Amino acid sequence: MTEAEFAELDSNPPAWLLQSRANRSKTARPVWITLTCDICGYSETARPKKWWPQFSYLSCSHHDIWELPDPAPGLAREEIDGIGASFVGIVDR
Ligand SMILES: [Zn+2]
């Protein structure tokens, strides 16, 4: 195959190639991250969601929020429930 033929195939892929690319992306390993509680160290593996912000802390949902260090001066703390199966995400900003 010449380079020109390859470029043509790549920019205008035939059905069999599209199908094989689709199969590959479907079977691609999902990205997993480990969520770790900053209070007790419990951890869980989860698929990160696109809407998750960058968390300052993570804690199990059964902990009290004041078990975590206070936010830095000038930062407001926001709690986001429903992170993974049993976590609350804390964002200080
Ligand atoms: Zn915990």
Residues 59 and 87 in one domain: yes
Shared domain for 50 and 69, answered yes or no, is yes
Q: Read off the tokens for 52.
A: 């998750």
Question: What is residue 52's predicted lDDT score, i.e. its pLDDT?
Answer: 94
Query: Do 39 and 18 reside in the same domain of the chain?
Result: no
State the Cα–Cα distance between residues 56 and 79, nearest whole angstrom: 10
Q: Report how far ligand 1's centroid is from the alpha carbon of 12 (Å).
A: 52
When pLDDT is averaged across residues 58-62 and rounded to a whole number, the result is 96
The SS3 assignment for 93 reads: coil
Q: Which residues contact 57 (CB under 8 A, 6 or more apart)?
A: 38, 68, 69, 89, 90, 92
CA of 74 to the centre of ligand 1 (A): 26
Number of domains in the chain: 2
- Shared domain check, 37 and 23: no
Mean pLDDT of 81-92: 95
Spacing, Cα 34 to ligand 1 middle (Å): 14
For the segment 67-78, what is each residue's pLDDT rounded down to a tens digit?
999 999 999 999
Q: Which domain holds residue 50?
A: 33-92
pLDDT single digits (tens) 5-59 = 878 878 887 788 777 777 776 666 668 999 999 999 999 999 999 999 999 999 9
How many A from CA of 17 to the centre of ligand 1? 47
Is 38 found in the same domain as 58?
Answer: yes
CA 10 / ligand 1 centre spacing (Å): 49
CA angle 15, 18, 19 (to 5 degrees): 85
